[in-house]
Amino acid sequence: MDAVWKYLPKMLEGAMVTVEITAISVLIGLIFAIPMALLRVSRNPLLWGPAYGFILYFRGTPLLVQIFLIYYGSGQFRVELEALGLWAFFREAWFCAVLSLTLNTTAYTAEILRGSIRSVPHGEVEAARSCGMMGWLLYRRIILPKAFRLALPAYSNEVVFLFQATSLVSIISLMDLTGVARVAAARSFAIYEIYIAAGAIYLIVTYGILYIFKKVEFRLSGHLRERVDNDLPVTTVLR
């Protein structure tokens, strides 16, 4: 137990790195995933082709391979990257980690959104069309809001998976929660204690994420819940 108390401050610092990497990747990933999903549902092969290839690669290969490829792979092209002025970014393990995780979650999120765009009831689209909505307006007002609500449960899973997958970044020398735990376990030999503590921190954050999603889902599904009449005075209810 002493080992846990000794390393706890460092582990919490590591947990901050983990949360930070997850938050940034999820945010950028979501922003990229929306156009990616729209390209993916397009009927034009020039539009859906590249999106399909991107999603195929990032869903079809292990995240660990993607991280190695971006981190150690970019090291091999230092001269070229320096010429482009990009080496300053690729030099940092932090940047490489966020880049790999962002690309990975973009692919998965785009696929989730594609599915939910496809499952927006046809009648609603038809009704919008008959009111004269077309193209971007139709997407912005009808399809995307509905698709986001449909995607939410699956998307909350993706965020939790990504959060847990960040444990892989310790392999490229980043001191995230797992990275700190590995150093602490190796130095103190308190293997069980350290990893159980690390696991507990992951668990708490995971349930924090799920709680936030639950709240968001509750808010977005107001129109589906039974109406409660709030105007009745309390006394009436009691009687």
Partner 1 sequence: MRRLISVLAAVLAVTFMTGAAQAGQKVKIGTEGAYPPFNSIDKDGKLVGFDIDIANALCDAAGFECEFVVQDWDGIIPGLLAKKYDAIIASMSITDERKEKVDFTNKYYNTPGKFFARKGSGLEVTPEGLKGKTIAVQRATTHENFLTDNYGSIVTVKSYATQDEAYLDIVSGRADAGIADSVAVMDGFLNTDQGKDFQFFGPDFTDPKWFGEGAGIAIRKGEGDLVNAFNAAIAKIRADGTYAKINAKYFDFDVYGK
| CB-based contact 130:25 (threshold 8 Å) | no
Q: Which is nearer to partner 1, 113 or 185 (CB)?
A: 185
Q: What is the nearest approach in angstroms of partner 1 to the Cβ of residue 28?
A: 23
Residues forming contacts to partner 1 in the complex (CB under 8 A) are 72, 74-76, 78, 91, 93, 171, 173, 179, 182-183, 185-187, 189, 191
| CB-based contact 133:141 (threshold 8 Å) | yes
| CB-based contact 184:3 (threshold 8 Å) | yes
Q: What is the rounded distance in angstroms from the CA atom of residue 51 to the CA atom of residue 28?
A: 17
Q: What is the nearest approach in angstroms of partner 1 to the Cβ of residue 60?
A: 25
Q: What is the nearest approach in angstroms of partner 1 to the Cβ of residue 27?
A: 26
Token pair of 31, please? 């922003």
Q: Which is nearer to partner 1, 83 or 220 (CB)?
A: 83
Q: Which is nearer to partner 1, 75 or 145 (CB)?
A: 75
Handedness of CA 228, 234, 235, 239 (dihedral sign): positive
Q: Which is nearer to partner 1, 40 or 182 (CB)?
A: 182
Q: Which is nearer to partner 1, 192 or 238 (CB)?
A: 192
Q: What is the nearest approach in angstroms of partner 1 to the Cβ of residue 94?
A: 11
Q: Would you give the distance in Å from CA 224 to the centre of its chain?
A: 26
CA-closest candidate to residue 68, choices 97, 26, 34: 97
| CB-based contact 185:192 (threshold 8 Å) | no
Half-sphere exposure (CA, 13 Å, Cβ side) for 23? 9
Q: What is the rounded distance in angstroms from the CA atom of residue 88 to the CA atom of residue 117?
A: 39
Q: Which is nearer to partner 1, 39 or 93 (CB)?
A: 93
Q: What is the nearest approach in angstroms of partner 1 to the Cβ of residue 171?
A: 6
Q: What is the nearest approach in angstroms of partner 1 to the Cβ of residue 188?
A: 9
Cβ count near 111 (within 10 Å):
21
